[in-house]
Amino acid sequence: MLGGLVCIAPVDAAALEDEWSLGGGPLVASIPTEEGGVVGFGANAFVRYGLSESLALSLGCQYSYHLPPTVQDATEQPDALQVFFPKVGVFYAIDVIDLVPYFEIDATAYLGAEKFAADPVGFGLAVAGGLEYRRWRELSFGLEIGYHALLSDIATYPIYTSLGIVAAWHSDPF
């Protein structure tokens, strides 16, 4: 039992305060459409600065590319859907052991392809939760699930979901 505790105990007890984090990774995303959900692939990137032991300011972006489903008996096939959004928000983590659960909430701006929504440019809200493995203080790996809503066109675009792998580099103050 002691061996198991040693495996998950942090190398250095350090929190987010005054720490810079830079990271990102690949993701899978799903967009609801009139024909059903369209799954696509993309990536995200972020930079964070620790304001306290548990809170950090986060600035990031996400992009995804979605091939549309083939429509039978259509003269023209629908265009691919592309979505890009910058985001700024607050990141909350419980950094006690090597497995670090976290939650993030962001204000977002959405820039989508023409058929993405009635107005492909708008504002929204994103929430994400994840789990990082942080055995080394400078490097972490994890999984993140996100839910995104285009609030300026919620009827056309109720929710956009993403699941991604995240890698991050962490640094003490410069």
Rounded to the nearest angstrom, the gap between the alpha carbon of residue 167 and the centroid of all alpha carbons in its chain is: 12
Q: Which range has the top average pLDDT, 55-69, 118-132, 150-164?
A: 55-69
**CA angle, corner 26, sides to 23 and 30, nearest 5?**
125
Nearest to 145 by CA among 57, 52, 62: 62
Top-confidence residue, 153 or 44: 44
Top-confidence residue, 120 or 21: 21
DSSP codes of every residue in 113-160: -GGGSSSSEEEEEEEEEEEEEEEETTEEEEEEEEEEE-GGGTTT---E
Q: Sorting pLDDT into bands at 50, 70 and 90, what band is 115?
A: low
Nearest to 154 by CA among 127, 114, 124: 124
**What is the model's pLDDT at position 13?**
47
Top-confidence residue, 133 or 121: 133
Domains and CATH numbers, the chain: 15-171 (2.40.160.20)
- Separation of alpha carbons 42 and 99, rounded Å: 25
At 6 the three-state DSSP class reads: helix
